[in-house]
Amino acid sequence: MIVKVCGLTDNQSSTEVAALPGVEYLGFIFFEGSKRFTETTLQTHKKKTGVFVDAPLPIVKDMIEKHGLHAVQLHGNESPDYIQQLPKGVEIIKAFGIATEKDLEATKAYSGLTDYFLFDTKSPQHGGTGIPFDWHVLQHYKGETPFLLSGGIGIESVTELKKFSHPKLAGYDLNSRFERQPKTKNAGRVAQFLKDMEL
């Protein structure tokens, strides 16, 4: 299972998270509307992921090159055409806010265009709410694109996460419940999650 930790920057706590063997993707939020907004990343061999919300394509392309991003996560209303104009060789994660089965309909237009979907709690905040949604809604997802589960996941979620299964579940996205404050992560909690999940 993939584990992605989001909301990082170039501080000590982010470095500690990046050093954890079970963490594969590191998320850096380049959306100025987020309280986890950063303009810097880490030097790391892990998969650096830039998180954007309706950013102009030239800016995304510039940030990919500037920071050596391995992946981009799109949290806005980016169109399929937008995605097709992104550089080849960069992994693409398209986020969707989910509250009801109907919200899954939006994924169909992106089938075959992204490496992963990310299913998050539906919110005008574009993620980072710390609030989970009803994962059982995802049993209605019949698409072929694998997905990461997000939205208020914490150490206290482990028991329920172990009960949740889906043939396209590829991993977990961790953020607000693993920090001391925005942009300051608690690497110990991340390590505990990995241990409890046996990842």
The answer to whether the CB of 157 falls within 8 A of the CB of 164 is no
- Kindly state the DSSP code that residue 193 receives in the 8-state scheme: H
The pLDDT of residue 132: 86
Q: Is the pLDDT of residue 123 over 80?
A: no
Q: Which residues contact 121 (CB under 8 A, 6 or more apart)?
A: 97, 98, 99, 127, 129, 131, 132, 133, 150, 151, 152
The two structure tokens encoding residue 113: 């265009």
Residue that is written with structure tokens 């979907």 in the block: 117
| Residue 114, H or E segment | none
pTM for this entry: 0.95
Domain boundaries, the chain: 2-196
The domain 2-196 having CATH identifier 3.30.70.3270: the answer here is no
Tens of pLDDT, residue by residue over 73-112, are 999 999 999 999 999 999 999 999 999 999 999 999 999 9
Instruction: State the distance between the two ends of the chain, measured CA to CA, in whole angstroms.
Output: 7
